[in-house]
Structure 1
Amino acid sequence: MPSSPDSDTNSGARREGDTDSGLESRLHNWVVSNTKLRLLIQFVTWVSVLTLFTETVAAGNGMTLSKQPRDTLAVPRWLYLATGGATIGASALLASFVTDRAFIRYLHSWSVPGPTIDDWRTPVVWTGRGLGIVVLGLAVYLGVTGPQLPTASFTILVTFVVVRAGLPMLTYLGGNLWPVLNPWRGIVSLLPTGFRTYPEGLARWPAVGGLLLLVWVEVIFPVSTIPSVLSIAILGYSVVTIAGAVLVGPNAWFGNADPLSVLFRFFGAVAPVKRRDGKLTVKLPGSDLTNADVITDTSDVAFVIALIWELTYSGFITTQTGAATIETLVSHSNIGVGAVQIRAILIYTLLFVSGYVVFFGAYWYAGVLSRRRTGTYISAKRIAFRFAPSLLAIAAGYHLAHYTGLAVSLSPALGMAIVSPLSPPANPLTLSPPGWFEGLSIAYVLVGHLLAIWAAHATAYELFSSRLVAIRSQYPFILVMIGYTVISLWILSLPGATPPYLP
């Protein structure tokens, strides 16, 4: 019996539908089976949403600060701070939706191999360390004999624009060049070493104490304004460093006790360029922050917290609120004993130490809370160790926000001092960054925190097998990061001032 036109139509529709379904099925299977494409789609989606949040907050704050002094905000300060904290919280929420372990593993293992460097590494190292020794000698010599104007002093410009600002930026934005440039290691390599064994129990605690001491000296003494004082400080640091490296050996000293070497090594963990098996390798920034060998001791955690706190402290005491706090505490400590300068030094020291203890305690307690919330067999100490590398991204963002303006402003003066170190111009050129430059500081802080959030998220998925446990383990650390964000943004919103009572 012949079929009706309707049946032919339905049959054709079914055949067409079957064809479409087959195409869709094959396309779906191809997309699912193509891991790289699937990961790329997830990555682009996640980054796009985070970029929206970042640009919204950073641009808004940038416009607020662009044409007005820092003491005037176009929006209430509470809203400004809440927006920054909400950005970090929102980024953590968005990161929690990324539960594909293959995607996370792919991002952190992605790399592009570069050229082999073993063949020419030795001459480069000797050239770099030789240059470092020359610069070190000039810094000590010219600090005493050269001009005492800070912006014309080779010693001050090299110390603060290059070593304090530029080299750390180059390290976390590019790669760690300090082992190549370290002048003290170059000197020690010419001397007999290794008379004692470095005590393993000390770990990196000498570096922690050294970093805190360097920051304290920078705050209390006029090393940033009087070249001769800075020259004496550099000479003292050199004596201690060379003596320590000779005593216990360069590898032990610069790997554990020298604060500068440990600082650059930790910042190098954020960098995209690494040295692997004799080759330069390019990775995504912060990829190594999930590695278990970045932080292996409580002293490492203490050092990372010190990196964050010293920048927070330095920023606070150079604001009007910080200066008023110091003046109030000094005036209330007047009990008729000691000069005002002595009391001021004690107050500065007390704030520095107590604030560091609070920052360290907050992070360590987050590790304890994380273990309680997850009920895992993993100890709170190990959890704190694994999440601590993510804080290096925050420290890098703080450093970039704190020192970019200084580096840009004094770069012409630095160039003049390098070209003519023995006779720099009496009135060196300095730059005044535009008003919108202040907005970049906020963006740097937020981007550093966003990278830290992602690193913590990836670490949790590497540490815990359960997805729910991995997500819950991050909550205490996210709260600490939000606290760090609000404090740093609050400091950036305050008008600047000169710290009182200091020479």
Structure 2
Amino acid sequence: MQFLAWFLAFVFVVDTVAAANGLTLSKGPRDTLAIPRWLYLTTGGATIGASALLASFVTDRTFVRNLHSWSRALPTIKQWWRPIMWLGRGLGVGMLILAIYLGFTGPELPTASFTILLAFAGLRAGLPIATYLIGNVWPILNPWRTIATVLPAGFREYPHWLHRWPAVAGLLVLVWVEVIFPVSTVPTVLAMGIVLYSTITIAGAVLFGPPSWFDNADPLSVLFRLYGVVAPIQRHNGALRITLPGSELQNSDVVSDTSDVAFIIALIWELTYSGFITTSAGATTIETLVGIVSFGIVAIETRAIVVYTILFFCGYTVFLGAYWYAGRVSRRSTGTYVTAQTIAFQFAPPLLAIAAGYHLAHYAGLFVSLSPALTMALTAPLSPPANPLVLSVPSWFEGLSIAAVLIGHLLAIWVAHAAAYDVFSSRLVAIRSQYPFVVVMVGYTVISLWILSLPGATPPYLP
């Protein structure tokens, strides 16, 4: 049966199947898109602008409200919920233990390493895709939360003034570590990182209590919670309901603090940054800046780390600043009594649709190519194959990446349109309030499509 599944994948999805002897995973080079750059950049930006214009003609508040409130109850699983919960918890803890153990004792080949495949093909690529396309199961699978629930916890009250800022810092640090250190190619380095992350996470959950820590400070929990808002399957009052994708993004509870906005922008920026440094333009930029930045006797690798770090945090600051500036422009252009912060909070959740589109564009190919190796690692973690299969995705996946980016932006445009009608009583003001954010979204679109158009390259100077 397994052979038949891979055979069908080979025939319908894959161009070639190759035995891999090394892979940099998220840093892998890409092929150049066979589409004129000016054409699809202009088309992509115009598509977002035109969709915003068309959405402005939908002024029936009742229609918009009914569309976003539509839902259907799914078959109840109440009698199965506890067994499913305990099965998921056990599976999550078991995967964590195996990942640490096999990271130190398993094979060094990345595509044969259970630890690397689980972390990058599973947790980095596959599970987020399943989260925003189907629903969020991370609260059940989260091994650190399972461990923390059986330990004495809650010795200190979580400082509410911190809100989600620890999660923002944690996400940025995780992405920085992924870029700078060879966690995607050396299993022992990744295993040490998992041990460190586990120590910090469990200690924080024990100190402040699992609910407070995982709702506010744990970057992975916040990431999956926010991606889960995009999904069509939602859990309300213990019951599962199917909704239109993105309907929950209009919920005012999604973003309640500046740190939530910062986290959402971080999701968009980290995918943009990771995509850029794996292109020829990104590699050239890094090499040029490393040549300019000279610290005398400092090794070139150290200078490169400084350049990568400065680009990462400066770019994030620009993305975040552009969004907040759009909120201020929106308030000035409408002359409303609503504060710029309130406007920014209301228009931030739609950006999660953009983040989901970016993630799908960057990681769908990785997940498909590593799916055979991941399946083999999960089914036989203690006896990995000496020559694991890695699929080479077909050229039409490039078109899928473009479609994912555009669909994410189109969904964001529509949800932002609906959110504007929740904030403003005047239809004209509601429409005008969206213009600055549409400009920002068009900018995000053009940047992302431009990155997808560039030939791939391996980031220079990194191990």
Q: TM-score range by the shorter chain?
A: over 0.9
Mapped to 1, the partners of 2:355 and 2:35 lie a distance apart of 28
Larger radius of gyration: 1
Mapped to 1, the partners of 2:143 and 2:40 lie a distance apart of 44
Give the equivalent residue in structure 1 for 2:105.
145
Mapped to 1, the partners of 2:298 and 2:354 lie a distance apart of 39
User: Are residues 1:128 and 2:88 paired?
Assistant: yes
Kindly tell me the number of residue pairs found equivalent between the two proteins. Answer: 434
8 Å Cα contact 2:377-2:384 kept in structure 1: yes
Give the equivalent residue in structure 1 for 2:337.
377
Give the equivalent residue in structure 2 for 1:52.
none
Supply the AA of the counterpart residue of 2:49: G
Give the equivalent residue in structure 2 for 1:486.
446
8 Å Cα contact 2:372-2:391 kept in structure 1: yes
User: Are residues 1:165 and 2:137 paired?
Assistant: no
Q: What percentage of residue pairs aligned between the two structures are identical?
A: 71
Task: Report SS of the residue matched to 1:497.
Answer: coil
Displacement, 1:115? 2.7
Task: Report SS of the residue matched to 2:193.
Answer: helix
Give the equivalent residue in structure 2 for 1:457.
417
8 Å Cα contact 1:116-1:278 kept in structure 2: no
Task: Report SS of the residue matched to 1:431.
Answer: strand
Normalised by the length of structure 2, the TM-score is 0.93
- Where does 1:63-82 land on structure 2 (aligned, <5 Å)? 70-71=31-32, 73-75=34-36, 77-82=37-42
- Where does 1:243-254 land on structure 2 (aligned, <5 Å)? 243-254=203-214
Task: Name whichever structure is richer in helix by fraction.
Answer: 1
Displacement, 1:72? 5.9
Give the equivalent residue in structure 2 for 1:299.
259
User: Are residues 1:109 and 2:69 paired?
Assistant: yes
Give the equivalent residue in structure 2 for 1:470.
430
Q: Which runs of 5+ in 2 are unaligned?
A: 1-29
8 Å Cα contact 2:280-2:457 kept in structure 1: yes
Mapped to 2, the partners of 1:198 and 1:291 lie a distance apart of 25
Mapped to 1, the partners of 2:226 and 2:345 lie a distance apart of 14
Give the equivalent residue in structure 2 for 1:401.
361
Displacement, 1:335? 3.9
Mapped to 2, the partners of 1:476 and 1:404 lie a distance apart of 31
8 Å Cα contact 1:126-1:186 kept in structure 2: no
Give the equivalent residue in structure 2 for 1:204.
164
Give the equivalent residue in structure 2 for 1:345.
305
Mapped to 2, the partners of 1:108 and 1:169 lie a distance apart of 22
8 Å Cα contact 1:296-1:385 kept in structure 2: yes
Task: Report SS of the residue matched to 1:112.
Answer: strand
Task: Report SS of the residue matched to 1:219.
Answer: helix
Give the equivalent residue in structure 1 for 2:4.
none
Task: Report SS of the residue matched to 1:147.
Answer: coil
> Which of residues 444, 458, 466 is equivalent to 2:404?
444
Deviations 1:163-189 (A, max 9, x none): 111111111001100001010111011
Deviations 1:190-213 (A, max 9, x none): 100000000000000000000000
Give the equivalent residue in structure 2 for 1:425.
385
8 Å Cα contact 2:33-2:452 kept in structure 1: no
Displacement, 1:124? 1.6
8 Å Cα contact 2:96-2:143 kept in structure 1: yes
8 Å Cα contact 1:333-1:343 kept in structure 2: yes
Task: Report SS of the residue matched to 2:390.
Answer: coil
Deviations 1:192-247 (A, max 9, x none): 00000000000000000000000000000000000010000001000000000000
Cα–Cα, structure 1 residues 193 and 83, in superposed 2: closer, same or farther, change >3 Å? same
Supply the AA of the counterpart residue of 2:96: L
Supply the AA of the counterpart residue of 1:407: F
Give the equivalent residue in structure 1 for 2:317.
357
Displacement, 1:74? 4.3
**Aligned alpha-carbon RMSD (Å):** 1.0
Q: Which runs of 5+ in 1 are unaligned?
A: 1-68
Mapped to 2, the partners of 1:152 and 1:72 lie a distance apart of 30
Displacement, 1:327? 0.2
Supply the AA of the counterpart residue of 2:376: M
Mapped to 2, the partners of 1:487 and 1:499 lie a distance apart of 19
User: Are residues 1:329 and 2:289 paired?
Assistant: yes
The structure showing larger relative contact order (alpha-carbon pairs under 8 Å, at least 6 residues apart) is 2
8 Å Cα contact 2:329-2:436 kept in structure 1: yes
Deviations 1:353-407 (A, max 9, x none): 0000000000000000000011111100010001000000000000000100000
Supply the AA of the counterpart residue of 2:220: L
User: Are residues 1:218 and 2:178 paired?
Assistant: yes
Give the equivalent residue in structure 1 for 2:202.
242
Mapped to 1, the partners of 2:411 and 2:455 lie a distance apart of 28
8 Å Cα contact 1:85-1:485 kept in structure 2: yes
Mapped to 2, the partners of 1:271 and 1:212 lie a distance apart of 24
User: Are residues 1:413 and 2:373 paired?
Assistant: yes
Give the equivalent residue in structure 2 for 1:193.
153
Supply the AA of the counterpart residue of 2:270: E
Mapped to 1, the partners of 2:39 and 2:297 lie a distance apart of 44
Give the equivalent residue in structure 1 for 2:13.
none
Cα–Cα, structure 1 residues 232 and 280, in superposed 2: closer, same or farther, change >3 Å? same
8 Å Cα contact 1:152-1:425 kept in structure 2: yes
